[in-house]
């Protein structure tokens, strides 16, 4: 695939590594020859200072707002808390609706960790194999998804990854799937990451 635009959708309370890990992998993929551009985005302009605060206090300045990407990556974070992160996003409904809109327009959608709960709320996981962080597997099972306890699950235009560091393996798999094993292997070597688990799907 050529000229791939990848957007990683940030929101208050997202888990840092869920987004930054895949972002770094994709950017390294570009440097290794993949024809892609990765951007950190929000649904809309945020606070007065333009920063998004992640679950462990990291404050990030996004590149802009959500566009019409070829690949949309949704991080997790905060599902197990009462009032933050993914839980607040699902309760609000705006981000799940935007994810559904981008999927309907032809984007491939991927989630990391409890970002799968946003995809479930968007209706993207109905009847599909999917995974998430182990703390949310029961909740995912209560949705219409078919729970698969694997590190990365590829169901074509919807992909899900397990907890936190699985996002790195997800992004490496996306590089391999779209641009070839050589690119993925070069990036894994560059970041000194030993890929874990087979991809389901």
132 versus 81: the higher-pLDDT residue is 132
Point out the least confidently predicted range of 46-50, 81-85, 168-172, 192-196.
46-50
Domain boundaries, the chain: 4-200
Give the pLDDT mean for 71-91.
93
Q: How far apart are CA 119 and CA 143, in angstroms?
A: 10
Give the pLDDT mean for 173-179.
98
Is the pLDDT assigned to residue 165 strictly greater than 80?
Answer: yes
Half-sphere exposure of residue 36: CA atoms within 13 angstroms, side-chain side: 30
- Fold category of 4-200 in CATH: Rossmann fold (3.40.50)
CA-closest candidate to residue 124, choices 152, 155, 94, 150 = 155
Confidence of residue 1 (pLDDT cuts 50, 70, 90): low
Could you tell me the two tokens for 115? 């970002």
Strands of 199-200's sheet in order across: 64-65, 36-42, 4-10, 71-74, 108-112, 158-161, 152-154, 199-200
Determine the Cα angle at 19 with ends 201 and 143, to 5°: 50
Give the pLDDT mean for 80-84.
81
- Given the residues 9, 10, 41, 113, the one annotated as active site: 113
User: For tokens 């997202």, what's the residue?
Assistant: 14
Could you tell me the two tokens for 176? 């391999």
Q: How far apart are CA 19 and CA 198, in angstroms?
A: 21
Could you tell me the two tokens for 19? 């987004």
Could you tell me the two tokens for 51? 């920063």
Give the pLDDT mean for 182-186.
98
DSSP secondary structure letter of residue 135: G
Backbone phi, then psi, for 111, in 5-degree steps?
Answer: -125, 155
pLDDT at position 81 is 82
Q: What is the pLDDT of residues 139-158, one digit of tens each?
A: 999 999 999 999 999 999 99
Q: How far apart are CA 170 and CA 76, in angstroms?
A: 14
* Model confidence, pTM: 0.97
Residue 56 annotated to the active site: no
Is the pLDDT assigned to residue 51 strictly greater than 80?
Answer: yes
Could you tell me the two tokens for 148? 């698969």
Cβ(137)–Cβ(147) below 8 Å: yes
């Amino acid at each position: 695939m050529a000229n791939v635009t990848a957007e990683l959708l940030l929101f208050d309370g997202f888990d840092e590594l869920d987004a930054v890990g895949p972002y770094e992998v994709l950017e390294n993929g570009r440097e290794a020859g993949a024809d892609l551009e990765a951007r950190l985005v929000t649904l809309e302009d945020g606070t007065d200072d333009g920063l998004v605060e992640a679950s462990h206090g990291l404050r990030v300045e996004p590149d802009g707002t959500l566009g019409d990407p070829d690949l949309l990556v949704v991080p997790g974070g905060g599902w197990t808390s009462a009032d933050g992160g993914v839980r607040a996003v699902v309760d609000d409904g705006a981000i799940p609706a935007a994810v559904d809109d981008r999927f309907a327009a032809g984007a491939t959608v991927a989630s990391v960790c409890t970002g799968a709960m946003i995809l479930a709320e968007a209706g993207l996981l109905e009847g599909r194999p999917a995974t998430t962080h182990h703390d949310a597997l029961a909740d995912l099972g209560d949705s219409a998804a078919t729970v698969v306890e694997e590190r990365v699950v590829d169901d074509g235009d919807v992909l899900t990854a397990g907890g936190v560091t699985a996002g790195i393996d997800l992004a490496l798999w996306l590089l391999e799937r779209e641009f070839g094993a050589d690119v993925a292997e070069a990036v894994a070597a560059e970041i000194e990451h030993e890929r874990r688990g087979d991809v389901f799907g």
